[in-house]
Structure 1
Amino acid sequence: MNVGIFLDRDGVINEVLSHRVKFVNKPKDFYLLDGVGAAIKRFNKAGYKVFVVTNQGGIGLGYMKESMLDKVHNKMKDDLAEYGASVEAISYCPHKPHAGCACRKPEPQMILDLAKKYHVDVGESYMVGDRAPDIEAGKKAGAKTVLVGSRKEDNVEADLQFADLLAFAKWLIP
């Protein structure tokens, strides 16, 4: 069985609600956060399967089309490749917030589907996020949970907490 690192996208991999970008609806709005390329490369070299699990309610709300999301994700892959880093797969929920679907975090379906497809032992894996729905989805899936960033989240009880993804990677892989 493989061990996975499941990453939320906005706020973990890329900037969101920053001085440069509010939401990432186009490739030009995508900026890797500092240290992300190095962190993912570290996971890759250590043999972890790296996945992105992201809510993309902007599709359901009509702010972007799936074809544009594909372009954003291609930019993310290209930006990561500059660091020698890569992700195994990306899963996203295109539904509106409060749609009641099984795939939108805090529900665990994206994690569980990827785990099944890629033979990942969820209990040995990590879900990394910057918000409560990410941590809740990880817990529901049975993964260890990691909260990153400085966003103040009430009632978030992650197993681990770090300033950013690179700090977590350095802790996990000294």
Structure 2
Amino acid sequence: MTHYKIQKALFMDLDGTVRRNKKGGFIEKPTDIELIPGVVERIHHYQDQEYLLFAVTNQGGVAAGFKTPQDISDENAEMMRLLSLHNVAFDRISIAFTHPEGKVAPYNRHSLMRKPYYGMLAVLEYQYYHEQGTILDLPNSLFVGDMDTDRECAEAAGGPYQDIQDFLKGGES
């Protein structure tokens, strides 16, 4: 008989939620990245409660031709390095490179992986169920972001949403 574990997760958008450009605007290279003040402490709160930690991010700059998937990988590596200095690490990072108005194939298309759709969450749910026997408790998890697409993704997945500003204040959803 297989025993399954039910576990809550903290789903976090990245740009404008976990990280930002030190000088403002879009992140252009890994050395531009700084963590949003206060976010590490708040992530620790959920990490201490044994939430799984997931990053879910739209990176349409790849579809637009401003960045490559390798650029995004390098940016994420720098973010993970900065987080590791505070003993924080995401269990997985899920990325949607697509955008329906993009110019670079194969990313210039509609995709259910791109927020506001909840494809990234569904894939994480599938992976954890089949790889580890873990059922993600979406209704009791938390999605944190800074855009309407983040909120809409959480709503579509049936989970609660908190804007980054409220999250940083320490309120529970």
TM-score, normalized by the shorter chain, greater than 0.5? yes
- Counterpart residue number, 2:112: 102
What's the offset of the Cα at 1:97?
Answer: 4.5
- Counterpart residue number, 2:90: 87
TM-score between the two structures when normalised by the length of structure 1? 0.82
Q: Deviations over 1:110-152 (max 9, x none)?
A: 0121122223111111111111000001100111111123xxx
Higher relative strand content: 2
- Counterpart residue number, 1:123: 139
> How far apart, CA to CA, are the structure 2 residues paired with 1:69 and 1:23?
12
> How far apart, CA to CA, are the structure 2 residues paired with 1:141 and 1:135?
10
Letter matched to residue 36 of structure 2: L
92-101 or 70-79: bigger deviation = 92-101
TM-score between the two structures when normalised by the length of structure 2? 0.83
- Counterpart residue number, 2:15: 10
- Counterpart residue number, 1:132: 148
Q: Which has the larger radius of gyration?
A: 2
- Counterpart residue number, 2:104: none
> How far apart, CA to CA, are the structure 2 residues paired with 1:70 and 1:146?
26
Q: Which sections of structure 1, spanning at least 5 residues, go unmatched?
A: 150-161
Q: Does residue 1:111 correspond to 2:121, yes or no?
A: yes
Identity %: 27
Q: Which sections of structure 2, spanning at least 5 residues, go unmatched?
A: 1-5, 102-108, 129-134
- Counterpart residue number, 1:58: 61
What is the aligned residue count? 155
Q: Deviations over 1:63-118 (max 9, x none)?
A: 11111111110111111111111111000100125532111111110012112222
Q: What SS is found at the alignment partner of 1:103?
A: coil
Name the Cα RMSD after superposition.
Answer: 1.7
